[in-house]
Structure 1
Amino acid sequence: MELPRLDHMGVVVDDLDATAAFFFDLGFEREGGGPVEGEWVDEVVGLDGVRVEIVMVRTPDGSGKLELIKFHEPADTEGANPLPANRLGFRHIAIAVDDLNTIVDGLRAKGFDTVGEIRDFEDTYRLCYVRGPEGLIVELAEQIASEGAS
């Protein structure tokens, strides 16, 4: 069986507006969203009484989508837990950007910062992890030279 494509990734958040704004600042565009509830969603996610608000965001070229999800019911009782980059499980998403330093400067002006340092990988990519709202980790990757270039 051939996998046709990755459709989207879901990100559960508490502050839907702040998280959506963070991704808009990175260049994502709103694709849609709204409230979701009912027996069908209860059965899909394995919880009772689900009532969520969703914002779908996508990259400008449409190649990547995130489903930002705020659970109103049942609510998470533990809250955000900003885990370290080595914790098992889905830990970050990577976004190709054109001007990493300018983007990081803009995010820092809004109170976000890098997890570690901005570093170049083999003169090909400039990379960093940024800690977003609620502990989310986003890797920014700027291609600074063609791969295989000498």
Structure 2
Amino acid sequence: MAKNKLLRMDNIGIVVESLDEAIAFFTEIGLRLEGRGSVEGEWAGRVTGLGDQHVEIAMMVTPDGHSRIELSRFLMPPVISDHRTAPVNALGYLRAMFTVEDIDELVSRLSKHGAQLVGEVVQYEQSYRLCYIRAKDGLLIGLAEQLTNK
């Protein structure tokens, strides 16, 4: 019997308080809104294990079309836990990392949306400049500017 083969990673899901603010934030990074809608009903709850649910979703896609973030805002059942302010060494999913052309310019634009640097922009050897930022709603995002092969 042949071993099942991984085809691709479709998306990463992030639960947010405000879908509009999250869409604006990720649009500012450079992702494009691919679609928006809602998912509700018992069938969806069978997938998530939450029972009857109602969720607003937005799918954001990277410029190359290969990577997506699914933003979700739960209307029912209500959110019961919040991990956004956990330190970067907490167990579980940490952050999404994006490679950008000009890290300083993007940090400046994102700060106008309420984002704040977690530490500082640092350089790793002659390869990358890196930083973590927290969006206004607490989401942790990594930015990387490749210095070689420019």
Q: Is the partner of 1:101 in helix, strand or coil?
A: helix
TM-score (structure 1 length as normaliser): 0.92
User: Could you say which residue in structure 2 is the equivalent of 1:14?
Assistant: 17
Q: 1:118 aligns with which of 99, 118, 121?
A: 121
What is the CA deviation profile of residues 87-117 of structure 1, one whole-angstrom value per residue up to 9, with x for unaligned ones? Answer: 1111101101001100001111222111111
The total of aligned residue pairs comes to: 147
CA RMSD of aligned residues (A): 1.5
Cα offset, 1:76, TM superposition: 1.1
Q: Unmatched 5+ residue regions in structure 1?
A: none
Q: Is the partner of 2:89 in helix, strand or coil?
A: coil
TM-score (structure 2 length as normaliser): 0.92
What is the identity, as a one-letter code, of the residue corresponding to 2:94? R
User: Could you say which residue in structure 1 is the equivalent of 2:73?
Assistant: 70
Contact 1:82 1:134 in 2 (8 A): no
Q: Unmatched 5+ residue regions in structure 2?
A: none
User: Could you say which residue in structure 1 is the equivalent of 2:49?
Assistant: 46
Counterparts of 1:119 and 1:81, CA distance in 2:
23
Q: Is the partner of 1:134 in helix, strand or coil?
A: coil
Regions of 4+ moved over 6 Å: none
What is the CA deviation profile of residues 21-57 of structure 1, one whole-angstrom value per residue up to 9, with x for unaligned ones? Answer: 1000101001112011112101000012200000000
Contact 2:113 2:136 in 1 (8 A): no
Are positions 1:87 and 2:83 aligned together?
A: no
Q: Is the partner of 1:135 in helix, strand or coil?
A: coil
User: Could you say which residue in structure 2 is the equivalent of 1:143?
Assistant: 146
Identity score, percent: 41
Counterparts of 1:83 and 1:31, CA distance in 2:
29
What is the identity, as a one-letter code, of the residue corresponding to 1:65? R
Cα offset, 1:4, TM superposition: 1.0
User: Could you say which residue in structure 2 is the equivalent of 1:105?
Assistant: 108
Q: Is the partner of 2:104 in helix, strand or coil?
A: helix
Counterparts of 1:11 and 1:133, CA distance in 2:
15
User: Could you say which residue in structure 1 is the equivalent of 2:36?
Assistant: 33
Q: 1:132 aligns with which of 135, 140, 144?
A: 135
Counterparts of 1:132 and 1:71, CA distance in 2:
19
